[in-house]
Structure 1
Amino acid sequence: MKIGIGSDHGGYELKEELKKYMLEKGIDVIDYGTNDLTSVDYPDYGKIVAEAVVNKEVERGVVICGTGIGISIAANKVKGIRCALCSDTYSARMSMEHNNANMIALGGRVLGVDLAKEILSAYLNSTFQGGRHLRRIEKISEIEKTML
């Protein structure tokens, strides 16, 4: 599995921890930045990771800002992205199983490293269940087609 990861300055430290965690698990990771704690704009990093997912450079994406809110909103503006803001393992698992989320967002200033690792693991170890959930995802795609 190849995962794209990106953050602003508020998520930089958590991004580095999660990148290391995934590499230790044998997951291929592409880091789209930021590369230090210098203040940057989260929409830039939400967009670049989302575009990598849509363009199939990576299978899934993980984006991080201070709360996860802003970067998830930015990522979701990219056509074809379903980015779920997750703060617990159940939501992370359901984001994939029921919503086929191709990205998750995390809050670097609201999550501890251990919980963030558990959330990431729950997300990465889940698969889309299809069935009745596929019909719902298709409806989301139809909304996207008419609105964007």
Structure 2
Amino acid sequence: MALASLRRLPLAAALCLGLATAGCQRADLSQQTKKTEARICTELTTVNQALEQVAALTPTSTVGEAKAAQQKLEQSIATLQTSENQLQKLRVEAFRKVLEGFRGEVAAASANKTQTLEQAANELKPKALAVIAARRALSAAVQCEEPAPAAPSKP
């Protein structure tokens, strides 16, 4: 019995280390996401200013003024697009990290041969809810339609 416990010790240590690392990476991704969202807000202001510059053009405006306004608008939209793409990558990466962590939890639960299915399910259920919440957040960020909840299967 003691030998079996010693064999599980490295697995448990690796799992704890993996979860700690994933937690740090999630915090880092969260910070990057917040910075990117703040940058997008700033860039939206720049786009708005460029639009106002275009709207301020009059029949007496020069071709040079019109061209400068158009260039400013195109540049601000391109910068905004780049930041939006980066934000999407960060959101997908955050979801992937949560999913990888859950896969590790499932592997650890399935490796524990002394645990019943009920115990494993009770252990994994809250962790699965975190994955579901992360998927919903990603879906909301890209404005996906939420699928209808699956009907519970009968035993």
Instruction: Verify same fold: TM over 0.5.
Output: no
Q: Which has the higher strand share?
A: 1
Which structure shows the bigger proportion of residues in helix conformation? 2
- TM (norm. structure 1) is 0.28
